[in-house]
Amino acid sequence: MATLIPTALRRLDYADALTMQLRLRDDCIACDGARNYLMLVEHPPVITVGRAGERADVLASADRLGQLGVQVAEANRGGEVTYHGPGQLVAYPIISLRQRGRDLHRYLRDLEAWLIALCGSYGVPARVNPPNTGVWVQERKIVSIGIAVRRWVAYHGAALNVATDLSHFELIVPCGLRGVRMTSLERELGAAPLLADAAERAATLFAEHFDMELRPAAQGAAQRV
């Protein structure tokens, strides 16, 4: 059974998180998937533009973004434009797909199933919304997903709105979906779950859904980056 090493939840700038992802990705490649990681972070306000994204989907002016303290960063992941910020759980699974059929579509569906289960653990009935990638509550989007792969190790990942300031999604066209309504666990439940609790549930459910042995971060390379 492959090992999953989660990192402790922390606030991390997007650029620093990417550097950490690349280190863990390279370690996962080097050990041929014996060690897999789940980075769990909360970002300061940042808009990321994926490989399929267009700057035109950033609707706010540079001055407005500056006033709000929102940065813009290019992201080497699939997908278009999204927003990360306080109150959002960003999960970056860094796992080998060699033992999972080297199937990116299957991996995306597995990520969606995991995140649907995570929402369900709070009593929020989430679902997929084909052909769109991500997780939805009725017609409202609660999870955005975008991945990258190198030598069959996946990185980047998913963002779950826990208690996110949803007004910041009005600064962009989220995932290229004009008029989409965003939601959060807080909005659906009427109260905000603790981000640390969501992170703990995310790690436990990920290990279950991906059939991995969950190990504390202190026992793995994640603690050294």
Active site residues per annotation: 175
SS3 154: strand
Q: Quick one: which of 40, 77, 75, 73 has its CA closest to 207?
A: 40
Q: Where are the beta strands (DSSP E) in the chain?
A: 3-6, 10-11, 35-42, 46-49, 71-74, 81-84, 88-96, 127-129, 132-137, 140-150, 153-161, 181-182, 213-214
Distance, C-alpha 212 to centroid of its chain: 19
Q: How far apart are the first and last CA of the chain?
A: 24
- 95 phi, psi to nearest 5 deg: -135, 150
Distance CA 47, CA 72 (A): 5
How many C-beta atoms surround the C-beta of residue 99 within 10 A? 13
